[in-house]
Amino acid sequence: MPETFDSPPRFDTVLIANRGEIATRIQKACRELGLKTVVVYSEADRQAPYGKTADSALCIGPSSAAKSYLNKDALLLAARLTGAGAIHPGYGFLSENAAFADAVEKAGLAFIGPSASSIEAMGDKISAKRAMIAAGVPCVPGPDTALSDDPAAVERLALEIGYPVIIKAAGGGGGRGMRVVPEAGLLQEAVALTREEARQAFGSPSLYMEKFLQHPRHIEIQVLCDTHGNAVWLGHRDCSMQRRHQKVVEEAPAPGISPDVIRPVGRACVEACRQIGYQGVGTFEFLYEDGAFYFIEMNTRLQVEHPVTEMTSGIDIVQAQIKVAQGDPLELAQADVKCEGHAFECRINAENPDTFLPSAGVITSLALPEGMGIRVDTHIHAGYKVPPYYDSLIAKLIVHAPTRAEAMARMREALAGTRVDGISTNIPFLRALFEDSAFTRGETDIHYLEQWLKQRRAP
Amino acid sequence: MSAIDFSDPATIAFLTEALTAAGASGLEISWPGGRLRIVIATGNEAGVDVSVTPRPAPTAQPLVVVKAPMAGHFYPGSPSRQAATDRLPSVLAADILGFLRVGPLLLPLCAGRAGILTKQLAEPDALVGFGDPLFEIEPQS
């Protein structure tokens, strides 16, 4: 059932419930919209530069994320003490926490994101799949119901879908709570193990089963919806370059997929948003194999990789998200969305480029690239101390050029001009990846990077 | 503070043995009065470097800073006496030095340590965050 669209509260001050590069990015968007910002930080982030450029800054807890950035009460108290009218959750932390979105709304504040019920509905993978099937979004073969407790019924279902199958936790995501089953003999043990994992990690033993695709690519569709029933999709991204289910490089558009193939999928995503009454920005994630799309999940928040879509579409997604939260109607229709050129994003992580172990410490000196078609989203500076408590992402290097080949060349130049001293980063690894011939050709699948790394390690 | 004497040869021998057994390559421990460094060389011959800084003559104890336990508006003083900085009073550990106002609630800020209240570090009615310094106390034992 579609939700009713209530008028959201207007606001002039936004509390940024996040840290790092995304706190800087949200602050920039707010400033350009004439909004004041409140930055909250943990003790480890006391010296973060975005705290100094905010209208107000408040320490909300110790370094542990559980006691600061994940502390709902501390965040709501900070909003109350500073007079903030809205909370932007960024990505990660509480951005997809339905209880937090609900608490923000109940406190009379605007949550810059979808409603709590939308987050909840899309957070449960079974109900999300059901909603997508109803809207005509293509899904991976497998039922939109929870897996039965009856072993015989589970076996029948696996045979019906065809091996290999994948068992997934209904409350899972981000690559956790799933197990591939290549043959019938391994099925029951896999179900039992995944069910126990799901019970412990996600608080629900509910599982579902799908066909396991062997060589898929990870393709995303970005949507933007207002509170008046308008929705558009802003093109597509390829995020197949992953290590341990974590994206490393993203690009837009996804290479080798013709507009005729992607257009009906984009339209179905928009239709799904209308049917569920979705508000704000969101991302439909798909596996793509042999010319077909299979829905995997919807992310009900801003994505780390949103800049590649901003570069190709020319739309400031964070500003658009804030305007939607203010109750403004979308300023564009689908016909106005024109994606041009090609964009790449590299995630610069504070980690060892060979072992990928996190690297904390002081950045002694820093060089970041500049120039036409180059953008760097970051909060770091020379003298900045990378704390060991959080995600290792310290910067995003984004380039845009008329063609994919030109964008790759621009990224090579940009990476050559990037230097972070004092800590280890993955920059050498990214430089090597952008010299790889298969990646240069494009259309590599989600397993490619792991295989490439294995080959590099081989003597 | 630890009561272990790291300059004691018996302690060093024990640690060396434990490191060798664990296959660790070495260890370094620093404490206010010195530093111990044990390096387990190839062939299990350990190199030991102990440097003990002469302990300085006893001086005044380091100042204690009373920090905000959460975010709120800062109110120095207590209803039962003048504002805390009107004089430099002796305070007891249980004395209330001020309050944090959080909505309708007033959260008392206790000294936590007996001594002389030397400084108030935040302005009255200022919005303070978790861990922000509010008072400075010179402890008296």
Which part of chain A has CATH 3.40.50.20? 13-112
**Among A237, A301, A347, A404, which one carries the catalytic annotation?**
A301
B75: closest CA of chain A, how far (Å): 14
Cα–Cα dist A173/B66, whole Å: 43
**What pLDDT score does A125 carry?**
87
Interface membership of A77 toward B (CB under 8 Å): yes
Is A301 an active-site residue?
yes
Q: Reply yes or no on domain A141-211 having CATH 3.40.50.1820.
A: no
pLDDT beneath 50: ranges in chain A: 1-4
Pick the residue from chain B with its C-alpha nearest to A82: B127
A43 with B127: Cβ contact below 8 A: no
Interface membership of A72 toward B (CB under 8 Å): no
Cα–Cα dist A13/A26, whole Å: 12
A151: closest CA of chain B, how far (Å): 47
**What pLDDT score does B88 carry?**
61
**What pLDDT score does A44 carry?**
97
Residue pairs spanning A and B at CB distance below 8 A: 35
Q: What residue ranges do the domains of chain B occupy?
A: 9-52, 64-139
pLDDT digits (tens, 9 = 90+) for B62-101: 899 999 999 999 999 865 555 444 556 899 999 999 999 9
pLDDT digits (tens, 9 = 90+) for A102-122: 999 999 999 999 999 999 999
A59 with B72: Cβ contact below 8 A: no
Classify domain A217-457 by CATH architecture. 2-Layer Sandwich (3.30)
Interface membership of A80 toward B (CB under 8 Å): yes
Q: Alpha carbon A389 to chain centroid distance? A: 20
pLDDT digits (tens, 9 = 90+) for B24-60: 666 767 766 676 666 665 444 455 555 555 555 556 6
Sheet holding A246-252, edge to edge: A292-299, A280-289, A217-225, A231-243, A246-252, A342-349, A393-401, A374-378
Q: Which of B72, B131, B132 sits opposite A81 (nearest CB)?
A: B72
B116: closest CA of chain A, how far (Å): 27
**What pLDDT score does B54 carry?**
55
pLDDT digits (tens, 9 = 90+) for A164-218: 999 999 888 767 789 999 999 999 999 999 999 999 988 899 999 999 999 999 9
- The ipTM value here is 0.81
Interface membership of A51 toward B (CB under 8 Å): no
What is the third-level CATH fold of B64-139? Answer: OB fold (Dihydrolipoamide Acetyltransferase, E2P) (2.40.50)
Q: Reply yes or no on domain A13-112 having CATH 3.40.50.20.
A: yes
**What pLDDT score does B118 carry?**
93
Do B100 and B132 form a contact (C-beta atoms < 8 A)?
no
CA-CA-CA-CA torsion sign (A350, A354, A357, A362) = negative
B104: closest CA of chain A, how far (Å): 12
pLDDT digits (tens, 9 = 90+) for B15-26: 766 666 666 666
Residue A440 gets which letter from DSSP? H
Ranges of beta strands (E only) in B20-112 are: 26-31, 34-40, 46-52, 64-67, 72-76, 90-91, 96-102, 105-110
Pick the residue from chain A with its C-alpha nearest to B101: A81
Pick the residue from chain A with its C-alpha nearest to B132: A59
